Structures are given as structure tokens and as C-alpha cells.
Amino acid sequence: MNPTLSKFVESLDHAVISDSVETICANVRSVLVDFIEHHPDLLPQNFLKPSENHYARRLLHKCPDDLYSVVIMVWDQGQGTGLHDHSGSWCVEGVYKGKVRVESYEMIEDHGNGYCEFKYQEEIVQGAGKAGALIPPFEYHILSNPFEEVAITIHVYSGEMTSSLAFHPVDGGGHRSERKNLTYTK
């Protein structure tokens, strides 16, 4: 691990020490914004390559105490997620390069049996150096790159996020949930 990356991890180790999720997310956001702004060479080159068929998702670091993990995602033009959650985990997402579109939703009713309804909240475009937090229960969103330039984002999760719920629209309205196991791109 290069010295800048080691310092980044050390800063995150300190940022996640709090009893307050809001404080942790604010601290992590501050670390992300600072390192993105001042260290354009932070990430290893092998983490910056897009994947042909789907956005790339690569594990950069997992805290040995499982307090957080750092995942790098690379979004080629037109790549994105469907509506999903973060399985109750907080997450801070920072844009390292390019820009991404984030569409936020609020779950307004869970009917059980995997059927639920959402209300669209807002759409924002985040450019390089910007970061935001998702704190449950406000974790439902779509992340995409509709722009020409490749986008690279850094995601810091509480623990390691290995699965999430994906929400698929159904005829007549609403969404059906499906547990999706998450993998890493080589």
C-alpha cells in the first residue's frame, strides 16, 4: 500500500470512532473530500478500469475490526444500478473522478411478501470532490453515469456490504424486492 493510501486508511480508522452514526458519516465525508481534493493519485491504477458489461466494484480495504470497508466503483457511460438499499448500513459516497447522478427515494409502504411502494424524492448530480451520506432508513437510491466521461466513486460502508435488496417495478405500480448478493470485479 502506498504511503498516501496508508494515510487515507489511518484517517478513516479515526473517523469511524464514535457512538453517533451521523458523526461517523460527517467524519468519513470530511476525510473523503480532503483526500479526493488533495491526492489525485490516491487510488491504484488497477482500480480505475471500467468493466465492459456492468459497473466495476472493487474492494480497496476492509477494516480488520469490520468497522468499515472501502469499495471503489467505476462507471462507464450508461452504467448504473437499479433501485436498491444498503441493507441497513450507513454509507458515504465520494466522487473521485467524473460525475454521477443520484436519484433518491423514500419507502412509503412495505406491504410484506417483498412488495413495497416508493416515493421519488430528488435527483442530484455530484461531481469530483463531492460526497454524501446514506443513513438508514434513508438509503433507497439509484446511482448512474449518464455522462460521456468515466466516473469513479469511493464508497465507505459500515462493515462489508455483501448483499442488498434490489427493487424491481411491477405492473400496476409498486416494486418487488429481491435479495442480491454483491461481488467484486477482478
CA atoms of 45 and 145, how far apart (whole Å) = 20
Q: Which helix (H) or strand (E) holds 38?
A: helix 21-38
The verdict on residue 157 lying in a domain is yes
Cβ neighbourhood burial of 96 (10 Å; 0-12, 13-18, 19+): buried
Calculate mean pLDDT across residues 8-35.
97
What integer pLDDT is reported at residue 99 of this predicted model?
97
Which residues constitute the domain of residue 25? 3-181
- Total number of domains constituting the chain: 1
The verdict on residue 130 lying in a domain is yes
CATH code, 115: 2.60.120.10
CA atoms of 101 and 111, how far apart (whole Å) = 29
What integer pLDDT is reported at residue 51 of this predicted model?
95
**What angle is formed at CA 155 by the lines to CA 18 and CA 35, rounded to 5 degrees?**
80
The verdict on residue 186 lying in a domain is no
Nearest partner of 69 among 78, 60, 77, judged by Cα: 60
The verdict on residue 28 lying in a domain is yes
> Residue 1: is its pLDDT beyond 80?
no
Q: What would the pLDDT profile of 63-91 be if each residue is shown by its tens digit?
A: 999 999 999 999 999 999 999 999 999 99
What integer pLDDT is reported at residue 160 of this predicted model?
95
What integer pLDDT is reported at residue 5 of this predicted model?
94
The verdict on residue 60 lying in a domain is yes
Q: What would the pLDDT profile of 118-177 be if each residue is shown by its tens digit?
A: 999 999 999 999 999 999 988 999 999 999 999 999 999 999 999 999 999 999 889 999
Q: What's the pTM value of the predicted model, to 2 decimals? A: 0.95
The verdict on residue 102 lying in a domain is yes
